[in-house]
Structure 1
Amino acid sequence: MPLRLSAALVPLIFAGAAFALPGTQSTDVMKRLRLMTQIRDTSTTLGSMARGETTFDADHAGRLASKLRADVAAIPIHFEFQVIDAGSRARPLIWADWSGFEEAAARTEAAAAALRTDTPEQLGAGIKVLEQSCQNCHRRYRLAD
């Protein structure tokens, strides 16, 4: 898949997170949605830099990648409690298949850890792998829009 097409998927991967907040009652769900929105926004910014849509700055990309790594590492913590409300996109399968969910989160964390930010090309390749990992997890553990 070409980088341009692949990078365009980042907002779609996380679509719905920002829109779900108004129907959300649970603080646990709000925290999860906020985390996923942060991951989406950071990934989108990094993808934009990789594609040359915004100025590439290796130092700024490195700081964003560090933030992304920390946010991605926090995913399982935000799902420890089985809380679903009207604003949640989480499938109950997350908790029924907790070890599978943790493995999927670990793969995403590994993809985030592997991000290199020295060049736009390195960054773009890493974002593509991260997107794929996010998509795989969302297909299995997130309700469709």
Structure 2
Amino acid sequence: MPLRLSAALLPLIFAGAAFALPGMQSADVTKRVKLMTQIRDTTVQLSKMARGDTAFDGDQAARLAQLLRADTAAIPIHFEFQVIDPQSRARPEIWTDWVAFEQAAARSQAVADALQTETPQQMRRGLATLERTCRQCHRQYRVGD
């Protein structure tokens, strides 16, 4: 898949997260959705810089990458408790196979930790890897993927 098309799919990987808040009954699930939405939004901003859709700003890219690192590190914390909400897209497999879920989250964190932001080319490579990692996790642990 060409990178331009691949980067254009990033919002679709996280699609639905921003729309899950209305009617949500659980504060824990709302926090999870907000975290995932922030990861999506940060990734989209970095992707736009990497593709040249917005001006490349190394300092801004580094700040966004740091936010992405912190947010991916927080994924397991936001899923520690099995809280199901009618609006949640989390699959029960998250909790029935917690070790595998933690490993998937750790892969996302490792990819975010390795993200280079000095040049758009470095970011494109790292973001393509992050996209694959996110997509794999969502297929396994998110309803509708």
Query: Residue type of the partner of 2:80?
Result: E
For 1:40, the equivalent position in structure 2 comes to 40
For 2:83, the equivalent position in structure 1 comes to 83
TM-score, with structure 1 as normaliser: 0.98
Query: Residue type of the partner of 1:79?
Result: F
Identity %: 68
Count the aligned residue pairs. Answer: 145
Gaps of 5+ in 1: none
- State the 1:23 CA deviation: 2.3
Gaps of 5+ in 2: none
SS at match of 2:41: helix
Root mean square deviation of aligned Cα: 0.8
- State the 1:9 CA deviation: 1.3
For 2:115, the equivalent position in structure 1 comes to 115
**Equivalents in 2 of 1:23, 1:85: separation in Å?**
10
- State the 1:86 CA deviation: 1.6
**Equivalents in 2 of 1:127, 1:110: separation in Å?**
12
Q: Give 4+ residue runs of structure 1 displaced > 3 Å after superposition.
A: none
TM-score, with structure 2 as normaliser: 0.98
Alpha-carbon deviations, 1:6-58, whole Å to 9, x = none?
Answer: 10111001100111111211000000000000000000000000000000011
